[in-house]
Chain A
Amino acid sequence: MSETVIILMLGVSTFLGALGLLSLIWGVKTGQFDDQSKFIDAARYDNQEDLKDAILMDRKKEERKKRKEKESNYRPPD
């Protein structure tokens, strides 16, 4: 057995593990596990409708942003 094999083994497995750890911590920090019941229900009620809902909310946010931009760019005619 050569050193490279061990280095590779240790390196790759630790790296993959670290990726998993980081994404888990990201989930904790962004509050994705805050609501246990909803977290579980999300799996039960997962459907297209919710997706549409999320899109609707995103669109609303975007529209508002656009409108705001328009308003701020608006200059009264001289």
Chain B
Amino acid sequence: MANIKCTHCNLEFGEDVMIKDQDDNQQQLYFCCKGCQGVYHLLQDEGLNSFYDKLGDNNLEPVTYIDRELEKFDLEGFEKKYVKNIDDDLKQIHLIIEGIHCSACVWLNEKVLHKQDGIIEASINYTNNKAKIVWDSDEIKLSKIIETIRAIGYNAYPYDPSLQEEKANSAKKDYYSRILVGVFGSMNIMWIAIAQYAGYFTGMEQKFKDILNVAEFLLATPVLFYSGWIFFKGAYFGFKNKIVNMDTLVVSGAILAYLYSIYAMVTQSGETYFESVVMIITFVLVGKYLEVLSKKQAVDTLDGIMGSTPTEVLKIEDEIKSLVSVETIKVNDIIEVRPGEKIVIDGTIIYGEASFDESSLTGENEPIYKKQDDNILSGSICLNSAVRYRATRDVSTSLLSSIVSLLEESIAKKPKIEQLANQISGYFSSIILLIAVITFAVWFGFISDFEEALIVGISVIVIACPCALGLATPMSTLVGIGLSAKRGLLFKEAGHLETMAKTTLLALDKTGTITEGKPCVVNSNFKNGFDPSLLYSFVSLSKHPISVSIASHIKNQYTKELSLENFKSIEAKGLKGNFYTENLLGGNVEFMIENGVNIDIKRDINSDNSIFIYAINKKVMVIYELQDKIRDGAVEAIQNIKDLGIKVVMLTGDNEKSAVRVAKEVGIDEVHSKLLPQDKAFKIDEFHKNGDIVVMAGDGINDTIALASSDIAIAMGSGADISIEVSDVILMNDKPKNLYEAFLISRRTYRGIKENLGFSILYNMITVPMAVMGFVTPLIAALSMSLSSLIVVANSMRIKNIKFKDSDE
């Protein structure tokens, strides 16, 4: 059957299920749902149909209307948290817009917001889908703005921009401007310096020398004081805390050379060193920038969690329902949750039964069925029916809030392994400064006059130029990061490579990390012939993970969609439905027995896997066995990591039985099961106490605290946003093989760093004595400095030649 594209969202569906419609020009239109149809006509009426030209062949998500919780946007508590007053009536909010797929979506959202009266400013960042909106509260309410966005098929939730991200961005911009000035200065000064070098050999009149000197001075001054400001600051902090650091050396070298050059320029004697000043500052600044380039933006998705949680709950008092703020709920209050709502307060069910999605707590995707007297935990989502429960805690002690506060805490106290270059540069700087002072004293006291002694002293500092040392780490890590990015591994910060190389322990989550995280059909046992289209239509009516995976398993055999009657999904048991006279049943063994289906348990079912039986008119058609499959290559990857001398343990929220089974299959000896999110973090802390440097790999919200408290956190690319956000490394294609490669690359990079540092120390051991003896002319200084930097760069490039085990290239 031919599939037709929906006129709005471009997704393809069978012709018979499409809603047919006509526009003003009698052209045939097709829509996949009412939502798409509504948005299409809205855009037509508003004269925004050029949206579809811009959209091109891009797909949108079918429109689903969300009309819940609009009122919460006008509540005072919400406003206090997210809305900023800029003028008496002007208000500003930052929103994350969901559902943006392409630039046309950005265009449409901006356009619609611009058209709305009372909105003064609306700009959306396409790269991260974040919007800034300024509006006049006299003319329009925030809830109306959100409604406008929802009306065209997108959704918006607020975030607090005053957190990490903004800070990181402005720091980046600041560095960027400083580097621009530095690069501009050094490029221009090099042209002039070439003229000076030429003049040094062929002879140049003093008046031309003066002109060149002044030009160099003009270019060097902003570079030293504007671009170099960061080093002045660093040196000042170092001085205050009585630490000699790399910045001290850079600043003392640059400023002494600068002052001496001014002296040489004014007195028209000797050579100037302005170009060295500029080169040192620019090179080391670039090195520093490479390190801050991707500082983590951890905390702002905490708002993602908190922003999507309800701020009000439905409280029941004497059979009267009232919407009250979560803060006012006390222990023993009765609360009602409706399907689809997130629980914010822990409690015990007193009336009703429903399935709960606890994936954010345990990492397991299968819904858990709960009835009266069962405990429900905040953070889980009520899936299918209304339930009343008694609060056993208030909001601040409920699990969800404690997860968020624990997470904030762990991010703040994240361990930091000191980097090799920093350790070395302290000693290095002190030694060089000491040598320079001694050299000056000796020359002044025994060999020559003040002026020459000063020149020799300065030349020691200049030649010991920290360029090579400053570039040693950033160059290597940059190559390492580039290499890993090519293999689908994203390191968020350069320093993480070095920390990862020192790791001694790897902690793995089970579901979603070692395994696929969803049940897959591993075995099917056909009893009778049946129509796959019917089964497909049957299971695709349910959103249960087992139904979903069976639907995807038989997708190829399905030909047409059939409409079923009396469909019913019985929690934790199975599905029921009618197709004309046929009575369809699907579900687990107990469900079949309950409904009088005759099955021979002993003969047909002999495994621990989940079972899905499909029966028509009480006759078994097929038995599927489902299991959460271990990811391809997990066994080899874990073995390889073990061979590197790293201990591997498993931390999971799942029960012991399945944890041990998976651990055995992949070869992990140490298993900790039934862990709640905070327990995982405690385990990580325990490992730390034993002196281990810990890498944690996980995918779900339940792993985030553990991820945040580990030295290096690795997230699966398909994992929850929040876990990606708190992680240091992301595996883009979820392959366990990449985990092993991450270790390999980081270790090779660390070796590169050590080689580079070793080389720059060797270089200094040769050139510094020369400088002490007064042999260093400006030409030698310039040549040896560039040469040493080049060698560091070349050595770092060698990291690219790394060989991967069982590489597929």
Contact = CB atoms under 8 A, between A and B. Distances in A.
Interface of A: 3, 6-7, 10, 14, 17-18, 21, 24-25, 28-29, 31, 34-38, 41, 44-45, 49, 53, 56-57, 60-61, 64
Given A6-B208, A25-B181, 19 more contacts: A3-B211, A7-B211, A14-B215, A17-B188, A25-B177, A25-B180, A28-B176, A29-B173, A31-B173, A34-B125, A35-B127, A38-B127, A41-B126, A44-B103, A45-B107, A53-B110, A53-B114, A61-B121, A64-B136
B110 to A, nearest CB: 8
B219 interface: yes
A14 B50 CA distance: 47
A53 B110 CA distance: 10
Given A56-B114, A60-B120, A37 B180 contact: no
- Identify whether the interface residues of A are mostly helix, strand, loop, or mixed: helix
B775 interface: no
A18 B184 CA distance: 8
Nearest to A26: B177
A39 B127 CA distance: 10
Given A45-B103, A45-B107, A57-B120, A35 B125 contact: yes
Interface in B203-247: 207-208, 211, 215, 218-219
Given A21-B184, A29-B173, A14 B218 contact: yes
- Identify whether the interface residues of B are mostly helix, strand, loop, or mixed: helix
Contacts of B218: 14
Contacts of B180: 21, 24-25, 28
Contacts of B103: 37-38, 41, 44-45
A37 B177 contact: no
B39 interface: no
Contacts, number: 65
Nearest to A25: B177
Nearest to B219: A14
Nearest to A47: B50
Nearest to B106: A38
Contact of A57 (B114, B125, B173, B184): B114
A57 B121 contact: yes
A26 B759 CA distance: 40
Given A14-B215, A36-B127, A45 B173 contact: no
B84 interface: no
B192 interface: yes
B219 to A, nearest CB: 7
Interface of B: 50, 54, 103, 106-107, 110-111, 114, 119-121, 125-127, 136, 169, 173, 176-177, 180-181, 184, 188, 192, 207-208, 211, 215, 218-219
**Leading 5 A-B pairs by shortest Cβ distance:** A37-B126, A41-B103, A35-B125, A38-B126, A10-B215
Contacts of A3: 207-208, 211
Contacts of A44: 103
B148 to A, nearest CB: 15
Nearest to A50: B107
Contacts of B125: 34-35, 38
A56 B169 CA distance: 30
Contacts of B54: 45
Contacts of A56: 114
A60 B135 CA distance: 11
Contacts of B192: 10
A52 to B, nearest CB: 10
16 contacts: A3-B207, A6-B208, A14-B188, A14-B215, A21-B180, A28-B180, A35-B127, A36-B127, A38-B103, A38-B126, A38-B127, A41-B103, A45-B54, A49-B50, A56-B114, A64-B136
A45 to B, nearest CB: 7
Nearest to B173: A28
